């Protein structure tokens, strides 16, 4: 499904390097595996927000898997018209963001929020987490994926050797769990975001120390009213 969507979008944007990178077979496989990793933490039905959706691949996966059981919403600064093929398939209620921190949703409106490669780009990550806490219902799930790892070899190469395309803000696994706890979320699971070692080594891949140098982190946390 994602392969077809990337192919259709490429007809409209043939030279879009961002889409070409994310639409590669390896990248699509990773997107799907990541979705199935966090999917067990989502409710079987309810209101879900794809926060900072960009071209909305997570929204598309959510729609394909859950159908109409989800009242799906998405938001970002760029217009949805920029990636119309994906947004049409997802059929999410899209809202353009105009404020750096404030989200245009009511208190406790969502059962889950997905943030895929978003938190590191927020102007103030702490304020963004406060807003996500506000719009989530008690017990709601916050999913953070593709968060750039402080120990990433790839980030080091981009920053020091190539000097381009690096993230301004990097995160450690332990510090991210503490940051989530500080803002009212109890981490349920957190890991270095690499599936390569698991494919090569099976379950033992999760324990291999080289995972600490993977490119990104992924976490799932639950909103609580008291710690």
Give the count of alpha carbons within 13 A of 112, CB side only.
24
How far is the C-alpha of 192 from the C-alpha of 190, rounded, in Å?
7
* pLDDT, mean of residues 11-27: 90
Phi, psi of 35 (to 5 degrees): -60, -45
Q: What percent of the chain has pLDDT over 70?
A: 93
What torsion do the CA atoms of 6, 63, 61, 110 make, to the nearest 10 degrees? 120
Residues 75, 104: contact at Cβ < 8 Å?
yes
- Residue ranges making up the domain that contains 171: 2-223
The total of structural domains in the chain comes to 1
CATH number for the domain including 86? 3.40.50.150
Under 8 Å between Cβ of 86 and 55: yes
pLDDT at residue 132, rounded to an integer: 98
Shortest CA distance to 127 belongs to which of 167, 100, 149, 157? 100
Phi, psi of 98 (to 5 degrees): -125, -15
pTM: predicted TM-score of the whole model, two decimal places: 0.92
Residues 43-56: what's their mean pLDDT?
Answer: 97
pLDDT digits (tens, 9 = 90+) for 142-194: 999 999 999 998 898 889 999 898 899 999 999 999 999 999 999 999 999 86
């Amino acid at each position: 499904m994602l392969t077809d969507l990337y192919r259709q979008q490429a007809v409209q944007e043939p030279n879009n390097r961002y889409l070409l990178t994310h639409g590669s077979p390896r990248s699509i496989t990773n997107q799907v595996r990541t979705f199935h990793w966090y999917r067990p933490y989502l409710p079987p039905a309810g209101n879900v927000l794809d926060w900072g959706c960009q071209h909305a691949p997570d929204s598309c996966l959510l729609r394909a898997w859950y159908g109409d059981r989800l009242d799906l919403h998405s938001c970002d600064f760029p217009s949805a018209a920029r990636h119309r093929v994906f947004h049409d398939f997802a059929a999410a209620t899209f809202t353009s963001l105009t404020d750096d921190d404030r989200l245009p949703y009511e208190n406790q409106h969502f059962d889950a929020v997905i943030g895929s490669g978003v938190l590191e780009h927020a102007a103030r990550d702490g304020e963004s987490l406060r807003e996500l806490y506000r719009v989530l219902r008690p017990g709601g799930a916050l999913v953070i994926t593709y968060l750039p790892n402080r120990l990433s070899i790839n980030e080091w190469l981009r920053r020091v050797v190539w000097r381009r395309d690096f993230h301004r803000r990097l995160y450690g696994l332990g510090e991210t769990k503490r940051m989530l706890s500080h803002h009212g979320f109890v981490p349920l699971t957190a890991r270095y975001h690499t599936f390569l070692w698991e494919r090569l080594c099976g379950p033992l891949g999760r324990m291999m120390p080289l995972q600490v140098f993977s490119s990104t982190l992924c976490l799932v946390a639950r909103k609580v009213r008291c710690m």
